[in-house]
Structure 1
Amino acid sequence: MTLKLVVVGGGSSYTPEIIEGIIRRYDSFPVTDIVLVDVEAGKEKLEIIGRLALRMIEKSNKAIHLTWTLNRRQALENADFVSTQIRVGGLEARSKDERIPLSHGFIGQETNGAGGIFKAFRTIPVLLELAKDVHDICPNAWIINFTNPAGIVTEALLKHSPHKKVIGVCNIPFNMRHSTAEILNVKPDEVSIEFIGMNHFVFGSKVLVNGEDRTNEVLEKVTHDLDYSPANIVNLGWTKTFIEATGLLPNPYHQYYFQTADVLKKDLKAFKENGTRAEVVQDLEGSLFEIYKNPSLYEKPKELEERGGAFYSDVACSLMDSIYNNKQDIQTVNTWNHGAIPDLPEDAVIEVNCIITKNGPKPIAVGHLPLSVKGHIYQMKAFEELVIQASITGNYNDAYTAMVMNPLLADEKRSKDVLDELLEAHQAYLPQFNSRGI
């Protein structure tokens, strides 16, 4: 019996983490075949990652057959799981997503604001094509998406592709649980956080430790010594007033929306001194791939944790393991709402705790949105829907409305300036807009 995993975006610097996760879970999740897939522009990195992955598997002495290819359709044959970790346009495109908004006085970030919008514009059409291929070639396979903006991309695939076996994952809930465990001096697997909201805009509404409610203790500590920010977000801390007023545990990305002026000031300073985060990552990636080339390296290097998306892959591996074994454990994923939050549409994609079964995630009801953040979540969900619509239609007005609806832009004149400049900068990766003469 075979168990095949296809990694789309196999030349990513995160791939060694996937390989490590598969090796570590081999006894319960006995993958027999792994195929790494990438595009022509990523061929050199794919070769480096492929050779490192082979060394890791060789050292593990596990019976895993690994190959890599640029032929995606061929790779998908007989796949059971397909993970997606692509970056359309590479880090050069990310740099434009950050640099152009900052030049107009807006936050420049790869998954939020104008940068996140354009990452979605470039990504959604490509992954819709992938989902169609999966549906045609390996219809029983699960797509595990951790391509950002993960929630928006997952909703686009579930609503607009023929393939419905799609789940989105993110490392933020993982980080929040582990950091909360650290501050409470308990083990991460003893901590359970009830999440409510959507990807990169999710709140913790309740914190339990071995079933005991310790929410108030965590909320009291979060104002001075809880830091669950990934490497790409500098924690600015939270005021006691904000935490007490909302009664919720924010995630690191909420800084962009509730501390906008301070974040923008920090980012502009960093931009002037060190360039964009994308340029920092380019240097880090260069160093990582030099490390990956070392023929004596047989494991994921510690330096990978300096990447902001570290642990995405581990979350994905845990999810696949649970689906394969019908574990019915609880994990936080991006999936259909199906009434878990009655204030949002049934077919909205939310980030929520789910029971993971062989048939996919079953959302656990969390009830109505807290009044303190209900308006924000309504706006963000409407914004996400506009981004998806514009990604598919290539309609300029749809794109403009998405920009104006985003809280980090929300300026009817300056949003148009940013939109026009980004459309021009990313023209090569936006055929849906270009075909309409925009």
Structure 2
Amino acid sequence: MSEKKFSVVIAGGGSTYTPEIILMLLDNLDRLPLRAIKLYDNDEERQGRLAEACGIIVKEKDPNIEFTATTDPETAYTDVDFCLAHIRVGQLPMREKDEKIPLKYGVVGQETCGPGGIAYGMRSIPGVLENIEYMEKYSPNCWMLNYSNPAAIVAEACRRFKPNARVINICDMPIGMENNIAKILGFNDRKEMTVRYFGLNHFGWWTSIKDKDGNEYIDKLLEHQLKYGNTLPDEGNNGDYTDNSWYETAKKVKDLTALDPTMAPNSYFQYYLFGDDMVAHTNPEYTRANQVMDGREKRVFGECARIAEAGTAEGTSLEIGIHASFIVDLATALAFNTHERMLLIVRNNGAIENFDKDAMVEIPCIVGKDGYEPITIGTIPTFQKGLMEEQVAVEKLTVDAYEQGSYHKLWQALTLSKTVPSANVAKKILDDYIEANKEYWPELK
């Protein structure tokens, strides 16, 4: 392997996921040698609550790695090889509004699915585009590995406004599910599986899972999912779940699979296909955003404060993010031409034969030093195609609304979302969102 060492900037350095990403990077220095790690965020106070601890972690692992935390774009983006982008415009207080406003009208309130994803997307587009421009100005040969949510809308905006940018859009959700699937099927690691998958971000299906000898496991998986969803028998909520809601999500895969028992669904379909169940089991006064603020936020910031005060990360409760491993896989594939097979969000361009060529689809790709090559999927069935066409239209209309400052385009996007029952309800949600997003959205006319 080359002796070259790389420089990485984490855009959205104030995220509570940043420490686990740094831990993952440091745990993989044999695969991706680093000379510098930078944190960049436009919220100095928030990033500062993590930065001192992150600097200590880096120094204790490898004091030769230069560590910087900055709010200056030029400092952040000068002389970097990879940008790891996970920005959240509006932070968790705006996520809370994204989730709670639709619930007032009996509609799914979720971060990336339905109205919440549309509202979040309208805020995310300019933030991601701004960071791409910084990257292109200060380090034009840099790759941006973009996993900012909502990934589907962000990817469509990148395709439309930055078609030639060195940006690869990716999501960790399928990785998390494949970790579960590997356990269900008896694999030691998800990388022992070769998967075929198609769809949109948070909106897809596994159609094949083979071992390294070419043996097919999809029927075994489907048989299991029809009985247990993505949980193990008698597992209860004591498995690898951060809280009970993720356990319930894994169980719900049973109902999703029953609707079409020929393909293994992404668990996020629960919001589109069983929205009434999701609303019935959601407390409109205490949503996922509140859980994160009261749980993960306090835990991570508290531990970083403890590390900073102690001056050492020894005995830390911070852990390597398993889902963050895909970032190292992708960076390594680009740096060392490994031809890693990964699920990416890319322009369809015929990979799914009977689908919009300009749609941003999530499919397996082979990644090397020049970027990625999508794997051909072929034709897809009517049910899946119909769902995808509706959702792609929502995503494109959202980007239209941002580009044109169009009230009607965003009303249409909300009306078309499978989670919203009528244009009347869509308009009420939209008007509430406009009021809540005055600081972030373009003016809509």
- Are 2:218 and 1:218 aligned? no
- Are 2:344 and 1:328 aligned? no
- Which residue is 1:399 aligned to? 410
Q: Give, in angstroms, the shift of residue 271 of structure 1.
A: 3.0
Q: Give, in angstroms, the shift of residue 76 of structure 1.
A: 0.8
TM-score (norm 2): 0.90
Q: Please point out which of 418, 424, 429 is paired with 2:435.
A: 424
Instruction: Tell me, in whole angstroms, the C-alpha distance in 2 between the residues paired with 1:390 and 1:245.
Output: 33
Which digits, 9 at most, give the CA deviation of each residue in 1:321-366, with x for residues without a partner?
A: 1111110021111122232212223332211111111111211111
- Are 2:187 and 1:186 aligned? yes
- Are 2:37 and 1:34 aligned? yes
- Segments of 5+ residues of structure 2 without an aligned counterpart are 232-240
The range that moved more, 332-341 or 356-365, is 332-341
Which digits, 9 at most, give the CA deviation of each residue in 1:53-91, with x for residues without a partner?
A: 222222223521110101113311122111111111111
Q: Please point out which of 2, 19, 23 is paired with 2:22.
A: 19
The range that moved more, 135-144 or 115-124, is 135-144
Q: Which amino acid aligns with 2:263?
A: L
- Which residue is 1:382 aligned to? 393
The range that moved more, 154-163 or 407-416, is 154-163
- Which residue is 1:68 aligned to? 69
Instruction: Tell me, in whole angstroms, the C-alpha distance in 1 between the residues paired with 2:400 and 2:256.
Output: 37
The range that moved more, 171-180 or 102-111, is 171-180
Instruction: Tell me, in whole angstroms, the C-alpha distance in 2 between the residues paired with 1:22 and 1:241.
Output: 35
- Does structure 2 retain, via aligned residues, the 8 Å contact 1:10–1:46? yes
Q: Please point out which of 294, 302, 308 is paired with 1:290.
A: 302
Against the structure 1 CA distance between its residues 213 and 162, is the aligned structure 2 distance closer, same or farther, given a 3 Å change threshold? Answer: closer
Percent identity over the alignment is 29
Is the partner of 1:429 in helix, strand or coil? Answer: coil
Against the structure 1 CA distance between its residues 375 and 336, is the aligned structure 2 distance closer, same or farther, given a 3 Å change threshold? Answer: same
- Which residue is 1:252 aligned to? 267
Which digits, 9 at most, give the CA deviation of each residue in 1:1-48, with x for residues without a partner?
A: 552111110011001122112112212211211110111xx3233123
- Does structure 1 retain, via aligned residues, the 8 Å contact 2:228–2:254? no
Which digits, 9 at most, give the CA deviation of each residue in 1:362-419, with x for residues without a partner?
A: 1111111123311101111111111111122221111111111111014111110110
Is the partner of 1:362 in helix, strand or coil? Answer: strand
- Which residue is 1:207 aligned to? 209
Instruction: Tell me, in whole angstroms, the C-alpha distance in 2 between the residues paired with 1:244 and 1:408.
Output: 17
Instruction: Tell me, in whole angstroms, the C-alpha distance in 1 between the residues paired with 2:420 and 2:379.
Output: 28
Instruction: Tell me, in whole angstroms, the C-alpha distance in 2 between the residues paired with 1:381 and 1:162.
Output: 18
Instruction: Tell me, in whole angstroms, the C-alpha distance in 1 between the residues paired with 2:397 and 2:32.
Output: 38
- Segments of 5+ residues of structure 1 without an aligned counterpart are none
**What are the equivalent positions in structure 2 for 1:6-155 lying under 5 Å apart?**
6-39=9-42, 42-61=43-62, 63-155=64-156
- Does structure 2 retain, via aligned residues, the 8 Å contact 1:194–1:205? yes
Q: Which amino acid aligns with 1:37?
A: Y
Is the partner of 2:260 in helix, strand or coil? Answer: helix
- Does structure 2 retain, via aligned residues, the 8 Å contact 1:37–1:71? yes
- Are 2:284 and 1:271 aligned? yes
Q: Which amino acid aligns with 1:132?
A: E
Q: Give, in angstroms, the shift of residue 185 of structure 1.
A: 1.6
Q: Provide the aligned length of Structure 1 versus Structure 2.
A: 424
Q: Give, in angstroms, the shift of residue 190 of structure 1.
A: 1.3
Runs of 4+ off more than 6 Å: none
Q: Which amino acid aligns with 1:11?
A: G
Q: Which amino acid aligns with 2:324?
A: S
Instruction: Tell me, in whole angstroms, the C-alpha distance in 1 between the residues paired with 2:38 and 2:334.
Output: 20
**Alignment root-mean-square deviation, CA:** 2.2
Is the partner of 1:203 in helix, strand or coil? Answer: strand
- Does structure 1 retain, via aligned residues, the 8 Å contact 2:365–2:372? yes
Is the partner of 2:89 in helix, strand or coil? Answer: coil
Q: Give, in angstroms, the shift of residue 254 of structure 1.
A: 0.6
- Does structure 1 retain, via aligned residues, the 8 Å contact 2:229–2:255? no
- Which residue is 2:349 aligned to? 338
Which digits, 9 at most, give the CA deviation of each residue in 1:247-291, with x for residues without a partner?
A: 110111011112121111111xx335xx11111111120222011
Is the partner of 2:362 in helix, strand or coil? Answer: strand
